[in-house]
Amino acid sequence: MESPDIPSPQAVLKVKADKVAIVPPGHKYSMIQQLAHAVLWQEFWLKKLDGGRKKSGMNEWKDNFRVPEASEWEDLRARFVSGLEDAVALCRSGASAQVRIG
Q: What is the pLDDT of residue 13?
A: 64
Q: What is the pLDDT of residue 73?
A: 92
Q: What is the pLDDT of residue 48?
A: 82
Measured in whole angstroms, the distance separating CA 36 from the mean position of its chain's CA atoms is 6
Each residue's pLDDT, cut to its tens digit, for the chain (102 residues) gives 555 655 676 666 677 888 899 999 999 999 999 999 999 889 988 888 877 666 666 666 666 778 899 999 999 989 998 998 888 888 888 766 554 444
Domains of the chain, residue spans: 20-91
The model carries a pTM of: 0.75
Q: What is the 3-state secondary structure (H, E, C) of 37-55?
A: HHHHHHHHHHHHHCCCCCC
The span from the CA of 33 to the CA of 88, in Å, is 23
